[in-house]
Amino acid sequence: MPPSERFDHDVTTTCGYCGVGCRLEAHAVDGRVVSIAPALDGPANRGHTCLKGRFAHGFSRKRERLRTPLIRAADGDLRAASWDEAIALIARELSRIRDTSGPDAIAGLASSRATNEDCYVMQRLMRAAIGTHNIDNCSRVCHSPTSWALRQSFGLSGATGSFDDIEHADAAILIGANPTEGHPVAGARIKQATLRGLQLVTIDPRRIELSDYGVLHLSPRPGSNAAVMLGLAHVVARDGLVDHPFLDARTEGYDAVEDLLADYAPADVQRISGIPAGDLERAAHIYAEAENASLLWGLGVTEHKYGSEVVRLICNLALMCGKVGRPGSALLPLRGQNNVQGSSDMGALPDTFTGYQSVADEDVAQRFEARWGVSMKRERGLKIPEMFDAAVAGELKAMYIFGEDVAQTDPNTTHVVAALDALEFLVVQDIFCNETTRYADVVLPASSFLEKRGTFTNAERRIQLVEAAIEPPGEARTDFDILLAVSAALGHEMPFASPSDAMDEIAALTPDWAGVSHERVGRRGLQWPVAADGTDSPILYGSRFELPGGRARFAALPYKPPGSEADDEFPLVLVTGRRLEHYNAGTMTRRTGNLELLPSDWLELHPDDAARLWVSDGDLVSVRSAHGRIELPARVTERIEPGHVFTAFHFPEVRTNLLIGSSADVNTSCPEYKVVAVDVRPVAEQASRMPAIAAAP
């Protein structure tokens, strides 16, 4: 085709993979994305991207993309259907179940991959069109402990600062996060900062790549973070490093913490965590003595039985040292998906509307009721694990799952599948068939981040614009259009001609978003809270905390052992996490060139354990827990400590989450993905490779 007949389309948009929120320049020709480059003025990425943002866009035109609605036929197969037929069936079935069993027999999940506007209309659909607060999102299985704890300690559910604080800090402690794989552009910023003098301490059972750039690496036993944080606080108090003026002026509850710290001398913490006492002391001094220091954390903190309590202990440490609310002294949880901050901000949670406004607050509820023209309950709805329990018990009869592959990524796969099987009616709205669509009665073909408009909110609370580079394939439609159509078919019309109209309603109903509009978000984004005049908030708590009295709250919480511990039957501890090349359920990255870079998963184990188990590099091994068994190849590496093994969860053929039980965070139900006692053995046919006892000559 001559160049003059080509249709070129360029947009500046925001990456749809991780919570760094890189701004991208996407170039499309004739309805296909042909290249993506970093936006030079992107506030989080400043002209950089990782291999996902830049190259992993080929999924968007893959043959397997969902192009028409699908309906489960009498023979059990999914068959193509028209939009009218699919939406009529959804409206009929959901109305029937609502009328016979009540609205709380229905539940929905919003997608942290989709936009704020998509998530907003999803929760309005569940609350106003169906009439239930049974709405949640995958933040439940990710950073819900962070959200809960930050609200308890400081008041707001978000990082206290920005990625810029990495460059402004003299020291930083990175706890249970592996940013060079999970948040590569932030990881690169940390790497560069260390080269310019940032004193980095890493705390992770594995020696992660950034440990090679830090001044100190602490390797705790999985599940012992609380003891480590209490030990750091003990040293700060013991060695006279507490910022008393800050404590007196801006906090409450320190006395109880001080009493508790007596039990966490470095020698005590060494017994619990395995971290040498001297290393713990050095880490405490590096953090406390720095002019400015930041604390960063990830799932190695949250996905534990006491994850939410550990986040409160992280907040304690910052408060003791007065290191919050100024440049370089920030608490930066590395939120995971592109819009996991936003999906919760938008009220896709069973207990809160937008901006974490409680469904039980009478004034708040009345404001939403008046705007939407409905009446709602004041009691919270079900969290994700409660939804599955209710489905197995026969109380929950239908689910609407939008962009979340629960059958692969949620814990205790056997239980999740039993729940999906038990439902009378399941709608899945996705861009591909995945493990969850196997159980769907209706599958709706939606749009990826390259095909829609709206906003994502990154890990810095930064709301950024998303622009469509291409159209959805075939008859697929944008998530926003689909959700509006389903809501209308259920009798609740939403008055939005575009995502920008939805944002105007969000701003009107949410004090922290009062000044947000698509126009104002512009190229630079806005970090909430955003005042009515458009002033945003890169740094929180400069002068007061967002709690009654303006004071931050200490929490006196002791160390408690994890839910799962190694024993004779299951002598190793499995930790699960991520690989650079793949993304969560892998529906997208496994359909790009990244699959050639990394075609399968493996189990990492230490050479000592490998020798004891007669496992060599590359051998197929069986991994068994109290909940299930999987097989995968082994990789022998010294990056992991003896007694621990590690794998990811990106490959449905491995099904890692068969191994995970239902143990979860005590306050938020976030699964304990990070500690599972397992038994590892070479699989039978490989056993023949063991040296024979009496080898034939």
Ligand X SMILES: Nc1nc2c(c(=O)[nH]1)N[C@H]1C(S)=C(S)[C@@H](COP(=O)(O)OP(=O)(O)OC[C@H]3O[C@@H](n4cnc5c(=O)[nH]c(N)nc54)[C@H](O)[C@@H]3O)O[C@H]1N2
Question: Among residues 14 and 537, whose Cβ is nearest to Mo ion?
Answer: 14
Say how many residues touch Mo ion, by CB under 5 A: 2
Q: Does 299 bind ligand X (CB under 6 A)?
A: yes
Site for ligand SF4 in 20-59 (CB under 6 A): 20-22, 45, 49-50, 52-53
Site for Mo ion in 467-486 (CB under 5 A): none
Site for ligand X in 606-645 (CB under 6 A): none
Pairing of β 70-72 and β 78-80: antiparallel
Site for ligand X in 318-347 (CB under 6 A): 334, 336-337
Where does this chain touch ligand X (CB under 6 A) — which range of 201-209, 274-282, 416-424, 513-521? 201-209
Question: Among residues 97 and 175, whose Cβ is nearest to ligand X?
Answer: 175
Q: How far apart are CA 659 and CA 680, in angstroms?
A: 12
Helix (H) or strand (E) holding 116: helix 116-124
Q: Does 142 bind Mo ion (CB under 5 A)?
A: yes
Q: Does 204 bind ligand X (CB under 6 A)?
A: yes
Question: Per-residue string for binding with ligand X, 375-414, x by CB under 6 A?
Answer: ---------------------------xxxx---x-----
Helix (H) or strand (E) holding 605: strand 603-605
Q: How far apart are CA 583 and CA 588, in angstroms?
A: 7
Q: Which of 674, 677, 682, 686 binds ligand X (CB under 6 A)?
A: 674
Residue 276 main-chain phi, psi, to 5 deg:
-55, 135
The closest of 115, 62, 32 to 481, measured between CA atoms, is: 115
Where does this chain touch ligand X (CB under 6 A) — which range of 21-29, 313-321, 443-451, 680-688? 443-451
Question: Among residues 103 and 205, whose Cβ is nearest to ligand X?
Answer: 205
Token pair for residue 453? 């408009």
Q: Does 300 bind Mo ion (CB under 5 A)?
A: no
DSSP 8-state class, residue 634 = E
Pairing of β 572-577 and β 644-648: parallel
Which residues does 468 contact at the CB level (< 8 Å), separation at least 6?
11, 13, 450, 451, 452, 453
Contact 350, 136 (CB under 8 A): yes
Q: Does 601 bind ligand X (CB under 6 A)?
A: no
Question: Among residues 158 and 220, whose Cβ is nearest to ligand X?
Answer: 220
Question: Among residues 45 and 153, whose Cβ is nearest to ligand SF4?
Answer: 45
Q: Does 578 bind ligand SF4 (CB under 6 A)?
A: no
Q: How far apart are CA 620 and CA 118, in angstroms?
A: 43
Instruction: Report DSSP letters for 566-582, one per residue.
Output: --SSS-EEEEEE--TT-
Q: Does 448 bind ligand X (CB under 6 A)?
A: yes
| Residue in this structure with the two tokens 């990106």, named with its chain if needed | 650
Q: How far apart are CA 368 and CA 133, in angstroms?
A: 13
Q: How far apart are CA 273 and CA 145, in angstroms?
A: 21
Contact 261, 233 (CB under 8 A): yes
Instruction: Give the start-end residues of each E strand in 454-494.
Output: 454-457, 462-466
Q: Which of 131, 155, 184, 454 binds ligand SF4 (CB under 6 A)?
A: 184
Q: Which of 11, 13, 18, 124 binds ligand SF4 (CB under 6 A)?
A: 18
Nearest distance, CB of residue 219 and ligand X, angstroms: 9
Instruction: Report DSSP letters for 56-70, one per residue.
Output: TTGGGG-TTS--S-E
Question: Among residues 142 and 664, whose Cβ is nearest to Mo ion?
Answer: 142
Q: Does 300 bind ligand X (CB under 6 A)?
A: yes
Token pair for residue 276? 């040498």
Instruction: Report DSSP letters for 279-308, one per residue.
Output: HHHHHHHHHHHSSSEEEEE-HHHHSSTTHH
Where does this chain touch Mo ion (CB under 5 A) — which range of 78-86, 114-122, 334-342, 523-531? 334-342
When CB distances are held under 5 to 8 angstroms depending on the partner's kind, the choice from ligand SF4, Mo ion, ligand X, none that residue 20 binds is: ligand SF4
| Residue in this structure with the two tokens 């207990």, named with its chain if needed | 351
Instruction: Give the start-end residues of each E strand in 288-420.
Output: 293-297, 331-333, 398-402
Q: Which of 300, 322, 336, 682 binds Mo ion (CB under 5 A)?
A: 336
When CB distances are held under 5 to 8 angstroms depending on the partner's kind, the choice from ligand SF4, Mo ion, ligand X, none that residue 49 binds is: ligand SF4
Q: List contacts with ligand X (CB under 6 A).
A: 18, 111, 113-114, 138, 141-142, 175-178, 181-183, 203-206, 208, 220, 222-223, 225, 298-300, 303, 334, 336-337, 402-405, 409, 429-432, 434, 446, 448-449, 479, 575-578, 580, 582-585, 587-588, 649, 656-657, 660, 673-674
Q: List contacts with ligand SF4 (CB under 6 A).
A: 15, 17-18, 20-22, 45, 49-50, 52-53, 183-185
